[in-house]
Amino acid sequence: MKIMKWKKLVTLGCVVVMTVSSVTACGSNTTENQTVEATEQSEENQSDSVIVQVTAVDGDQITADVGTLTTASADASGNGAPGGDAPGGDDSGNGAPGEAPSGDAPGGDVPGGEAPGGDDSGNGAPGGDAPGGDAPSGDNSGNGAPGGDAPSGDAPSGEAPSGDAPGGQMPGGSSFETSGESITFTLTDDTAITLEYLQGSGEGTADDIAVGSVLEVVLDEDNQAVSVTVRNLNAGGGFGGSSEVTNGTSANTITEDTEVDGETYTSTGDDENALRVDGATVTLKDITIEKTAGASSNTEDGDFYGQNAGLLVLNGATATITGATVNTSVTNGNGVFSYGEGTVVNISDSTIRTTENNSGGIQTTGGGTMNATNLDVETQGNSAAAIRSDRGGGTVNVDGGSYVTNGTESPAIYCTADISVSDATLTANASEGVVVEGKNSVALTDCDVTGNMSNTYNGDSDENIHCIMIYQSMSGDADVGEATFSAEGGSITAKTGDMFYITNTDCEITLKDVAFTLANDVFLRVEGNSSSRGWGTEGANGGDVTLTADSQEFTGNILVDEISSLVLTMKNGTSYEGAINPDGAGGTVDVTLDDNSTWTLTGDSYITSFDGDTSNITANGYHLYVNGEQVL
């Protein structure tokens, strides 16, 4: 899917790499004609463009160094996958922060077969992805996005399977080398700005161009930018799953409207569902699903399309399930999977257990719908969120029940959809509690959430530990746009790290009457990241957050870096005890405090604007600075 992404970048053993000046092909199957054709195409594509790295931004005037891009080569460590490290690195082969590529395949082999000529890193084979096998090299993580899913040997979507590439570069990623020349050009209202994702691209704005951004620019004769592509230097690995929908096979398939009571469905085949409901309206009562064996040939296909899941519902089918028992013990063994527009799964009073990597409890992708009531779900593997979505998203409604995860990069909820959960217990014993990616939403009502993220991504000391993460991986798995997170009632407990971490996205957070338990002194951290996993461009990948606290008590510091912003509103009796940017001014921070709310300082605080009465602020021996002036 997925956390977070450098999520799921594909480790391609054979990649045709285009730089400004040359094309290199690897793999014994590449022919001379193909190489010549690629070279000619590269020269044609680059004839009107220039690669630059921004050194200054002054309104619509951009100054930049001219140069070229070079691509990191693979080495014996398994490096060479486009996505680099994945957050939350472990031996999961993970990609996104809560769903990762997968782990080892039976016997340690890559389920889809080792790439020819590769080694146990999952590397080096011409065209050989390591879809579900051991994550190439290093820590075996293949990590990419925090809870997303990165296939395993492949790091689709955001983070490359293997370890770090030399110099901290994501394996297979590119680096900028200056030629010593510099240019200045102008952006106009007609300039077409494109953002390059880890896979694919999308529309961008001038705000996406910052000092440090690497751009591919087409200029007119007046040195005005006709088009600008903000390059993602970790991109280029392609898409790890099939280019077409690949659901695999099924041991048992229902294609006609029917009612079933008390049946048992089993599967031991590769890429095979134990039961599939295809295009029919079906009622399933007290059934048992047992998926006990069978390798996944490509974890992206399992994450996106339901290949190797226990129960897959697709093609506009409606399945109403009560009293089911679902057990899987295979990679990509998602318990109950809803795939595709018009597909609806209604499941209640059922038990789901999964033990291997990339095996969520309930999974929704491709625009499907999942309605879950009073489920008992527990997962053991890495990249195995209990409530899970991936590419194409959909709608998920959960009422009641218990959702527990035990693996790393396995939040209780990994969201690339619209997910609403009420009256449920959500526990992640080794991961974030909740991860929201891109233009998607999580709404919690009277839920008890516990997050216990166990380590940083690949042990990188620059990475963050947190309970709730909201971000954009740029993997293409989630649309770029404003994410939303809301919680009313219930509790959220962080056993490690910060309470909230927001990076490389816009988001709106609404909190009302939630009981928070912090693990450290940071309630909210809004900041950019190194972009080593492809999460935007360093220097332009901060967060823009609107936080509304309504009848809410909360404590802890709020940290907003210089490339981020926060609009904080406290109303209706909200009580906040903490400091905002206690070490000095960072990004723009606008605070509104209504007459019924209070703020008690626990350190000097630096904000940009204040709307309210300072008599509602208790200085507590500290000072409040507004736009550089001390007001308390």
SS3 letters across 434-475: EEEECCCEEEEECCEEEECCCCCHHHCCCCCCEEEEEECCCC
The predicted structure's pLDDT at residue 161:
31
Task: Say if residues 157 and 7 touch (Cβ distance below 8 Å).
Answer: yes
SS3 letters across 353-395: EECCCCCCCEEEECCEEEEEEEEEEEECCCCCCCEEECCCCEE
Confidence check: pLDDT of 516 > 70: yes
- Residue 299 has a CB neighbour count (10 Å cut-off) of 43
The predicted structure's pLDDT at residue 297:
94
Q: Measured between alpha carbons, how far is 118 from 545 in angstroms, rounded to an integer?
A: 45
Strand pairing partners for 486? 443, 510
Instruction: Name the token pair of 242.
Output: 């099939």
Give every CB contact of residue 373 below 8 A, 6+ residues apart in sequence.
347, 348, 349, 398, 399, 400, 401
Q: Measured between alpha carbons, how far is 111 from 67 in angstroms, rounded to an integer?
A: 41
* Vertex 498 angle, CA 494 and 500, to 5°: 90
Task: Say if residues 174 and 18 touch (Cβ distance below 8 Å).
Answer: no
For β-strands 49-58 and 214-219, DSSP reports them as antiparallel
Q: Measured between alpha carbons, how far is 380 from 391 in angstroms, rounded to an integer?
A: 22
Confidence check: pLDDT of 83 > 60: no
Q: Would you call 330 helix, strand, or coil by DSSP?
A: coil
Closest by CA to 287, choosing from 265, 254, 255, is: 265
Instruction: Name the token pair of 503.
Output: 């990076």
Q: Would you call 551 helix, strand, or coil by DSSP?
A: coil
Give every CB contact of residue 461 below 8 A, 6+ residues apart in sequence.
none
The predicted structure's pLDDT at residue 210:
81
Q: Measured between alpha carbons, how far is 496 from 613 in angstroms, rounded to an integer?
A: 35
- Residue 480, CA atoms < 13 Å, CB-side half-sphere: 24
24-38, 340-354, 485-499: least confidently modelled range: 24-38
Which of the listed ranges 69-78, 120-129, 156-165 does the model predict with the highest average pLDDT?
Answer: 69-78
Q: Residue 35 class from Cβ within 10 Å (0-12 exposed, 13-18 middle, 19+ buried)?
A: middle
Helix then strand then coil, % of the chain, to nearest 5: 5, 40, 55
Which whole-number Å values give the CA distances from 401 to 310, 346, 351, 618, in the listed order?
20, 14, 10, 42
Q: Would you call 305 helix, strand, or coil by DSSP?
A: helix
Strand pairing partners for 354? 328, 379
pLDDT in tens, 36-71: 333 343 334 444 799 999 999 999 999 999 999 887
CA 409 to chain centre: 10
Closest by CA to 154, choosing from 109, 93, 106, is: 93
pLDDT level of residue 79 (50, 70, 90 thresholds): very low
pLDDT level of residue 141 (50, 70, 90 thresholds): very low
Q: Measured between alpha carbons, how far is 281 from 96 in angstroms, rounded to an integer?
A: 34
Q: Would you call 33 helix, strand, or coil by DSSP?
A: helix
pLDDT level of residue 195 (50, 70, 90 thresholds): confident
**DSSP states of 160-173:** -SSSPPGGGPPTT-
Would you say the C-alpha torsion 464, 468, 472, 473 has a positive or negative sign?
Answer: positive
Closest by CA to 159, choosing from 17, 363, 2, is: 2
Local structure of residue 218 (DSSP, 8 states): E
pLDDT in tens, 541-555: 999 999 999 999 999
Confidence check: pLDDT of 111 > 70: no
Confidence check: pLDDT of 174 > 60: yes
Give every CB contact of residue 28 below 8 A, 6+ residues apart in sequence.
117, 126
- Residue 158 has a CB neighbour count (10 Å cut-off) of 48
Would you say the C-alpha torsion 232, 233, 235, 236 has a positive or negative sign?
Answer: positive
Task: Say if residues 273 and 292 touch (Cβ distance below 8 Å).
Answer: no
Q: Measured between alpha carbons, how far is 188 from 404 in angstroms, rounded to an integer?
A: 51
pLDDT in tens, 386-440: 999 999 999 999 999 999 999 999 999 999 999 999 999 999 999 999 999 999 9
Residue 391: what residue type? R
Give every CB contact of residue 76 below 8 A, 6+ residues apart in sequence.
119, 121, 123, 137
The predicted structure's pLDDT at residue 458:
56
Residue 316: what residue type? G
pLDDT in tens, 316-349: 999 999 999 999 999 999 999 999 999 999 999 9
Task: Say if residues 466 and 441 touch (Cβ distance below 8 Å).
Answer: no
Residue 509: what residue type? I
Q: Measured between alpha carbons, how far is 583 from 599 in angstroms, rounded to an integer?
A: 18
Place of tokens 């000391």: 461
Confidence check: pLDDT of 261 > 80: yes
Task: Say if residues 287 and 309 touch (Cβ distance below 8 Å).
Answer: no
The predicted structure's pLDDT at residue 209:
87
Confidence check: pLDDT of 155 > 60: no
The predicted structure's pLDDT at residue 21:
35
The predicted structure's pLDDT at residue 477:
80
pLDDT in tens, 209-233: 888 889 999 999 999 999 999 888 7
Sheet of 557-560, strands arranged across: 253-254, 275-278, 311-314, 336-339, 362-365, 387-389, 413-415, 434-437, 466-471, 498-503, 522-526, 557-560
- Residue 584 has a CB neighbour count (10 Å cut-off) of 8
pLDDT in tens, 555-605: 999 999 999 999 999 999 999 999 999 999 999 999 999 999 999 999 999
Instruction: Name the token pair of 562.
Output: 């210089």
For β-strands 174-186 and 61-71, DSSP reports them as antiparallel
